[in-house]
Structure 1
Amino acid sequence: MSASATALALRDWSAPELCKPTPDSTTTPVDARGADWRGLSVGALDLQNGNLCRADLRGTNLSEAKLEGCDLRLARYDSKTLFPEGFDVRSCGAVGPGAKLSGVFLNCTDLRGMDLRRASLMGAYLSGADLSGALLDGVRFTGSDLRHAVLRGALCRGSRFGGCQLDFADFRAADLTDAGLETAESLQGADFSGCIGLQPQIPALLSRPYKELDCWNPLTRSHTRDGLEVAR
């Protein structure tokens, strides 16, 4: 390839995250990694073998799009996102309600306000992830790494935390009604200040080793025991 051709290609290049859905585009496969397509209707756009990894598809109408072979790993969707009939969005690697994400790496990911209700995150790596205000009702976190994760104000009703590492997790003001925390692997330094729905589990949680309960959380400036006793 000549130097002039290379220079021309660079002048015409645009970042994938700036890609917009244009049905008359002749550029295939589409590369829209990290693009923000929230609330858009893409029509019959050809996305076969395209790349929508990490794209924000919340509220997007993809019902007529061609998605065969499209990479949707870590793309975000919600209950208003429309997919083609018969498309199995839950198993495609995208993040949203009912998603099957067991064992996935989501360390330090910004998931604030995400709708993940009834998702499967068993054995997932979520250390340092920000799940503030997220809808986590019925989520299966069994065996997940949630160390230093932030779940402030999250709705965790009926979520399962058995075998989870919850060291220094921030649960302040979260709704933990019917959430299974008693069998967590460790909650050393976790902060439960202002939580609701936790009362039935508090006696069992307060019987855990003092090394967990009396551990100081330098971020929230509190001991794990403090938050549990206040919520009792």
Structure 2
Amino acid sequence: MAASAGRTTGATGANKGKKDTIAAARRPEVRLPPLVPYDGEGLEPDGDYDGVRFDGVDLTDASGRGARFMDCALDGCTLDRAELARARFIDAVLTGVRGVGTDLAEASLRDVEVVDARLGGVQLHGAVLERVVVRGGKIDYLNLRKARLKDVVFEGCVLSEPDFGDAHLVRVEFRDCVLKRAEFSGARMESVDLRAVAELDIARGVDRLAGAVISPLQLMELAPAFAAQIGVRVEA
């Protein structure tokens, strides 16, 4: 069931002056130091990359399981089938990365910006994301099952068939982005803001929206899904 954004800009009557009760996500403040260009080949499992710029590096099939990226920038890198399970990204910026089948299962992302990514089939199940912004770009089949997201903002991006099944979302915002066929089955939400979603299309898990806030227009458009969830038939 799809719903478009319906946030109102004004407040009247009893709502005038009423404070917004949903907690806003804390955004990352990444300030990278002078970086050293990466001059190696591929990645190393459990490798330690500190203050490194990966500029247009082809990391196809690279094996960096458990690696640590601190104060790093990845610009225009190819991540097809890159093995980055349990990797840690701290104070990092990923710009224009692209790839299919990137494995980031159980990875940790803290104070990270992902900008204009073009990714498909990214495995982030069991991952921990804290103070992360995903801005612009398009990600297909994003797997965030059983992940923990805290202070995460999806902004101006397209998420096609994202899977948030059994994930825990705390202070997560979706702003001016498109959610197509989103999966929320088993998810837990606290202060999740969906009001500014450009297109809200929930495939499963509409009953897991407790703890989220939606706009009045979104409520109207999601009404058939809510009715079906509780077994109500709506007929003219």
TM-score for the superposition, normalised by structure 1: 0.56
**What per-residue deviation string (whole Å, max 9, x for no partner) do you get for residues 184-230 of structure 1?**
4222321112424424559x53x457x624xxxxxxxxx44657427
| Residue 48 to residue 119, structure 1, CA distance change in 2 (3 Å) | closer
Report what 1:105 is aligned to: 108
Task: State the one-letter code of the partner of 2:103.
Answer: K
* 1:60 is the counterpart of 2:62: no
**What per-residue deviation string (whole Å, max 9, x for no partner) do you get for residues 119-161 of structure 1?**
1000111122111224322110001111221012222101111
Alignment of 1:125-144 (within 5 A): 125-144=128-147
Q: CA RMSD in A?
A: 4.1
Task: State the one-letter code of the partner of 1:192.
Answer: L
Residue 176 of structure 1 aligns to a residue in which SS?
A: strand
Q: 1:229 aligns with which of 201, 219, 229?
A: 219
Residue 229 of structure 1 aligns to a residue in which SS?
A: helix
Q: Is the 8 A contact 2:136 2:158 kept in 1?
A: yes
Please state which structure has a larger fraction of its residues in helix: 1
**Aligned counterparts of 1:227 and 1:53: Cα–Cα separation in 2:** 47
Report what 1:195 is aligned to: 197
Q: Is the 8 A contact 1:108 1:128 kept in 2?
A: yes
Q: Is the 8 A contact 2:42 2:59 kept in 1?
A: no
Residue 172 of structure 2 aligns to a residue in which SS?
A: coil
* Deviation of 1:88 (Å): 6.4
What is the percentage of aligned positions where both structures have the same residue? Answer: 18
| Residue 226 to residue 150, structure 1, CA distance change in 2 (3 Å) | farther
Whose radius of gyration is greater, 1 or 2?
1
Please state which structure has a larger fraction of its residues in strand: 2
* 1:152 is the counterpart of 2:155: yes
Q: Higher relative contact order at CA 8 Å, sep ≥6: structure 1 or structure 2? A: 2
| Residue 55 to residue 136, structure 1, CA distance change in 2 (3 Å) | farther
Report what 2:166 is aligned to: 163
Q: Is the 8 A contact 1:109 1:130 kept in 2?
A: yes
Residue 211 of structure 2 aligns to a residue in which SS?
A: helix
* Deviation of 1:60 (Å): 3.1
**Aligned counterparts of 1:55 and 1:133: Cα–Cα separation in 2:** 24
**Aligned counterparts of 1:48 and 1:160: Cα–Cα separation in 2:** 28
**Aligned counterparts of 2:183 and 2:146: Cα–Cα separation in 1:** 12
Q: Is the 8 A contact 1:60 1:82 kept in 2?
A: yes
Alignment of 1:169-188 (within 5 A): 169-181=172-184, 183-188=185-190
Report what 2:13 is aligned to: none
**What per-residue deviation string (whole Å, max 9, x for no partner) do you get for residues 96-115 of structure 1?**
53321111111232223334
Report what 2:83 is aligned to: 90
Residue 183 of structure 2 aligns to a residue in which SS?
A: coil
TM-score for the superposition, normalised by structure 2: 0.56
**Aligned counterparts of 2:208 and 2:218: Cα–Cα separation in 1:** 12
Aligned residues: 175
